[in-house]
Amino acid sequence: MRIAKLETYVLEARLEKPILFGIGPYAAFTATLVELTTDDGITGVGECIARRAPRVTDTVLRDLLWPVVQGRDPRDAGGIWDDEMRLLRGWGHYRGFVQEAMSGVDQALWDIVAQAQGVPLYKALGGAGRDRVPVYGSSVYIADLDTMQSETREQVEKGHVALKMKCGRSADLGGFRMDIESVRAVREAAGPGVEIGIDVNGAYDAATAIRFCDAIERHDITFLEEPVYPDDIDGYEQIRRHTTIGLACGESEFGVFGFRELLRRRAVDIIQPDVARVGGFTAGMRVSALVHAHNVRYAPHTGFSCGVAQLASLHLAAAVSGLWKAEWMWIDNPLAELFTEPLPKATKGVVAVPRRPGLGLELDKKKIAKYRLT
């Protein structure tokens, strides 16, 4: 069994009304999908995060990674990952677009392996004995307080037992003081029994984050995500010394090396790798071993991903040790439902993992064609 064919799909779906969060307005969902097909006709699929310029990721796939993957046995996924890293790391290309592209390739390889074995993908990864994954619903985005409360109530009524909200308002929207008010409002709407996480998307500095934490601890917040820029590890350490709220990050990190320093310095309590950025399942599982060794929690990130990454993240969550919860998006994302059947839904804070071989759902090529750029 050898990899014989590569197909890529660069996708974009523009929004009528941009989503607002700490980084700023987000006006379009984009993704790059990877299909690898073997010489005996098995096709695996993966997704690369492509928050900006998805055609760049497509070029990386075709010009840099395909020569490494072509003709290889997909059952050597770990070795292929190492060969891609070896080729690029020496030239400084071990983060960013390159590893995002590697993530899609690795997912597709493991999808093939699981199909060839006739098992769900999480089983091929050496599953952790779970076929149902606890999740937190995501996300209550920045808006007026009435809207945020209404959305919170709606999601709690749908059965979510944990949810995430966004903070990180700009000064013209009231800044961190209005963020504090929004936390109060969301807790009031959610009631005392729902876990709440807060994502700032790096909008604060450490001093502001500490002031924010002091003001919201009374509202029983489970975690604070990306209070400062992802590379400000000193800032994470400073915040962690001044709050009892668990700190979370990881969606912006790449591979094992990206998480090594965060864990060594005990800077965070919850690690949030994204399967479409961290390096796919191979890197996601390696990070899981680090998380287990440091006795912190694992919570796979999805965010504005296409449905392929959301499904892949569910399989990763079913396989890793140290799992806390996986992120499960309720937002209206046109690129989420690209399959011939709907993604699984959360019931009372739990999502059942598809049982069919591989990822478990089949892509709908007519839906893909609707959003394809190239």
Beta strand 3-21 with 24-38 is: antiparallel
> For the whole model, what pTM was predicted?
0.95
Which residues 6+ apart lie within 8 Å of 344 measured at CB?
A: 314, 351, 352, 353, 354
149 within a domain of the structure (yes/no): yes
**pLDDT at site 51:** 81
Beta-carbon-side half-sphere exposure of residue 254 (alpha carbons within 13 Å): 17
* Total domain count, the chain: 2
**Domain CATH number, residue 50:** 3.30.390.10
Where is the domain boundary, 89, 119, 149? 119
Verify that 101 and 169 share a domain, yes or no. Answer: no
pLDDT at position 277 is: 96
CA 233 to chain centre: 20
Do 161 and 101 lie in one domain? The reply is no
Of 98, 119, 140, which marks where a domain is finished?
A: 119
Same domain for 219 and 87: no
288 shares its domain with 204: yes
User: Do the domain assignments include residue 373?
Assistant: no
Structural domain boundaries enclosing 114:
3-119
Do 188 and 67 share a structural domain? no
Residue 328: the pLDDT is 95
**Is 326 a member of any domain?**
yes
Task: Kindly provide the residue ranges of all beta strands, DSSP E only, lying in the chain, ordered along the sequence.
Answer: 3-21, 24-38, 43-49, 132-140, 162-166, 195-199, 223-225, 246-249, 270-271, 297-298, 326-329, 350-352
Whether 368 is in a domain gets the answer no
Instruction: Report how many helices (DSSP H) and strands (DSSP E) the chain contains, helices first.
Output: 13, 12
Question: What is the C-alpha to C-alpha distance for residues 154 and 234, in angstroms, rounded to an integer?
Answer: 38
Residue 370 in domain: no
The reply to whether 73 and 139 lie within a common domain is no
148 and 292 belong to one structural domain: yes
Dihedral, CA of residue 305, residue 135, residue 139 and residue 163, to nearest 10: -170
Judgement on whether residues 147 and 266 belong to the same structural domain of the protein: yes
In terms of domains, do 256 and 201 share one?
yes
* Residue 369 in domain: no
Q: Is residue 114 part of a domain?
A: yes
How far apart, in whole angstroms, are the C-alpha atoms of residue 90 and residue 338?
37
CATH number at residue 318: 3.20.20.120
Is residue 182 domain-shared with residue 330, that is, in the same domain? yes
> Within 13 Å of residue 119, how many CA atoms lie on the same side as its CB?
13
Residue 228 shares a structural domain with residue 322: yes
Residues (pLDDT < 70) of the chain are 374
Say whether both 113 and 131 belong to one domain.
no
Are 294 and 263 in contact, with CB atoms under 8 Å apart? yes
Structure confidence at residue 15 (pLDDT): 83
- Sheet strands (E) in 286-364: 297-298, 326-329, 350-352
d(CA 367, CA 334): 10
Contact 285, 319 (CB under 8 A): yes
Q: What angle do CA 36, 41, 42 make, to 5 degrees?
A: 55
Predicted pLDDT at 306 = 92
Residue 169 and residue 173: Cα distance in Å, rounded?
Answer: 6
Q: How far apart are CA 23 and CA 339, in angstroms?
A: 30
Q: What is the DSSP letter of 61?
A: I
- Go through the chain and tell me how many residues it has: 374
In a domain, 223, yes or no: yes
Given 119, 149, 183, the domain boundary residue is 119
